[in-house]
């Protein structure tokens, strides 16, 4: 059944719509045309995604009378570096673009972050549209305007806040996504319930498997609810000066695990976030802020989905706490050496602890690694 629903990210003159459902790739030309100052688009994609979805996107742009060129990059996180960024912008410039040319990011978070940063910088800023093709990109990275690339010193250290003009989340493309990538995106969906919407988490407890089994209605509801929450948070704090940091729930712990495992396929970002959220619940319970009961409930839900919930499961049993704390102290939220953590008071209610108690954190991590 064809069903498309709309949301708006309310950012004044930079406001934009998110369309969720299907078919959207086939309608992309029709949706994008009214936003265009010039009927010229450059599509950026990766080889895997292009194999599946570039042809229908091209057809759709042609049918709307939009001229188009495509740049196809190798898939994977390694593409989000300065080298590929340089090649990408050089190639786009050889096409002969003007300020009215629009970029279309067709892919997951890697393509979206890279294309968004290219749009932010080419000719000092041209428009771009996100067509996210992973679950993670549909519920998180395509919305909110964080764009950027990695450097040798760390992830996303060069970038810009630069909003897309439109997001087209075509849920039908998720059928070709490997299950592991799908579950990694599911972890980010669970995150929204845990930080701000207990009823959504309870709904996921009942219906989550329908989401990752790609049942139309459940999937669309999960993507819409996630995007609506992200849109509301971004509208209130676009540049992460306050509440937007809640979206990093599970990420400070998770980032340490990703750094240790090399930011690659050994541990996907969403898997690290799942385990990071469990650690945040356990640590909150240890501090007497949250309850062990909630922590157990969250662990059970993520484990039932097939996501990692313990350090031993990802081969990090026995890792020294100081090693993890070393990574955590390089987090972008660190101020004057103080580690900030997003912690839960209960399911659906998270807050920012600006200065985590380091001694307790160290002993907590040692125990978590010991089991």
Task: State which of residues 57, 61, 105, 247 lies at the interface with ligand GLY (CB under 6 A).
Answer: 247
CA distances to 157, 221, 247, 248 from 107, rounded to whole Å, are 21, 21, 22, 22
Strand order in the sheet with 166-170: 3-9, 16-22, 166-170, 127-132, 102-107, 40-46, 67-73
Catalytic residue among 165, 255, 301, 333: 255
Pairing of strands 341-346, 154-161: unpaired
Helix axes 179-196, 216-236, angle to 10 degrees: 50
C-beta of 140 vs 294, nearer to ligand GLY: 140
Per the annotation, the verdict on 244 as an active-site residue is: yes
Given ligand NAD, ligand GLY, none, residue 244, with its beta carbon under 5 to 8 Å by kind, binds: ligand GLY
Q: Binding to ligand NAD (CB under 6 A): which residues in 140-159? A: 140-141, 144, 146, 155-156
Identify the three-state secondary structure at position 37.
coil
DSSP state string for 154-206? EEEEEEEE---SEEEEEGGGGGGS-HHHHHHHHHHHHHHHHHH-HHHHHHHHH
Measured distance CA(318)–CA(329) in Å, rounded:
20
The footprint of ligand GLY on this chain (CB under 6 A) covers a number of residues equal to 7
C-beta of 162 vs 200, nearer to ligand NAD: 162
For 65-121, what is the HEC assignment?
Answer: CCEEEEEEECCCHHHCCHHHHHHHHHHHHHCCCCCCCEEEEEECHHHHHHHHHHHHH
Q: Which stretch binds ligand NAD (CB under 6 A): 32-40, 75-83, 274-282, 286-294?
A: 75-83
Task: State which of residues 173, 246, 278, 305 lies at the interface with ligand NAD (CB under 6 A).
Answer: 173
Given ligand NAD, ligand GLY, none, residue 3, with its beta carbon under 5 to 8 Å by kind, binds: none
Per the annotation, the verdict on 180 as an active-site residue is: no
Tokens of 266: 């050994």
Given ligand NAD, ligand GLY, none, residue 108, with its beta carbon under 5 to 8 Å by kind, binds: ligand NAD
Distance, CA of 208 to chain centre: 18
The answer to the question of residue 116 lying near ligand GLY (CB under 6 A) is no
Identify the three-state secondary structure at position 129.
strand
Per the annotation, the verdict on 146 as an active-site residue is: yes
Given ligand GLY, ligand NAD, none, residue 282, with its beta carbon under 5 to 8 Å by kind, binds: none
Tokens of 198: 């207990």
Per the annotation, the verdict on 152 as an active-site residue is: no
Catalytic residue among 38, 39, 69, 244: 244
Q: Residues 129-168 vs ligand GLY: string with x where CB under 6 A?
A: -----------x---x-x----------------------
Measured distance CA(232)–CA(82) in Å, rounded:
32
Task: State which of residues 21, 109, 276, 308 lies at the interface with ligand NAD (CB under 6 A).
Answer: 109
Task: State which of residues 30, 38, 244, 332 lies at the interface with ligand GLY (CB under 6 A).
Answer: 244
C-beta of 270 vs 290, nearer to ligand NAD: 270
Per the annotation, the verdict on 188 as an active-site residue is: yes
CA distance between the termini of the chain: 47
The answer to the question of residue 181 lying near ligand NAD (CB under 6 A) is yes
Residues contributing to the site for ligand NAD (CB under 6 A): 46, 48-49, 52, 75-77, 80, 107-111, 113, 133-134, 136-137, 140-141, 144, 146, 155-156, 173, 176-177, 181, 269
Active site residues: 124, 146, 188, 230, 240, 244, 248, 251, 255, 269
Residues contributing to the site for ligand GLY (CB under 6 A): 140, 144, 146, 240, 244, 247-248
């Amino acid at each position: 059944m064809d069903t498309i629903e709309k949301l708006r990210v309310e950012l004044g003159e930079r406001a934009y719509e998110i369309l969720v459902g299907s078919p959207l790739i086939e309608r992309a030309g029709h949706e994008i045309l009214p936003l265009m100052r010039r009927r010229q688009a450059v599509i950026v994609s990766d080889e895997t995604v292009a194999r599946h979805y570039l042809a229908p996107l091209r057809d759709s742009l042609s049918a709307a009378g939009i001229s188009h060129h495509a740049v196809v990059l190798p898939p994977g996180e390694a593409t989000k570096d300065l080298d590929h960024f340089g090649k990408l912008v050089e190639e786009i410039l050889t096409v002969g673009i003007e300020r009215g040319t629009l970029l279309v990011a067709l892919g997951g978070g890697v393509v979206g972050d890279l294309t968004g940063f290219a749009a932010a910088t080419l000719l000092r800023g041209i428009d771009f549209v996100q067509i996210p093709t992973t679950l993670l990109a549909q519920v998180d990275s395509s919305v909110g305007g964080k764009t950027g690339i990695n450097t040798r010193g760390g992830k996303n250290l060069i970038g810009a806040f630069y909003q897309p003009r439109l997001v087209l989340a075509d849920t039908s493309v998720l059928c070709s996504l490997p299950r592991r990538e799908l579950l990694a995106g599911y972890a980010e969906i669970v995150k929204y319930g845990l930080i701000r919407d207990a009823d959504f988490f309870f709904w996921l407890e009942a219906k989550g498997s329908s989401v990752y089994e790609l049942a139309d209605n459940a999937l669309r509801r999960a993507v819409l609810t996630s995007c609506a929450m992200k849109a509301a948070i971004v509208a209130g704090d676009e540049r992460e000066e306050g509440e937007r940091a809640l979206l990093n729930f599970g990420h400070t712990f998770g980032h340490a695990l990703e750094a240790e495992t090399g930011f690659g396929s050994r541990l996907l970002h969403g898997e690290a976030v799942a385990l990071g959220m469990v650690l945040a619940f356990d640590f909150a319970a240890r501090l007497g802020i949250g309850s062990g009961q909630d922590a157990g409930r969250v662990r059970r839900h993520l484990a039932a989905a097939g996501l990692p919930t313990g350090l031993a499961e990802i081969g990090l049993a026995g890792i020294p706490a100081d090693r993890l704390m070393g990574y955590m102290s390089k987090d972008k939220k660190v101020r004057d050496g103080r580690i900030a953590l997003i912690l839960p008071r209960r399911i659906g209610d998270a807050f920012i602890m600006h200065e985590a108690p380091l001694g307790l954190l160290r002993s907590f991590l040692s125990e978590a690694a010991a089991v």
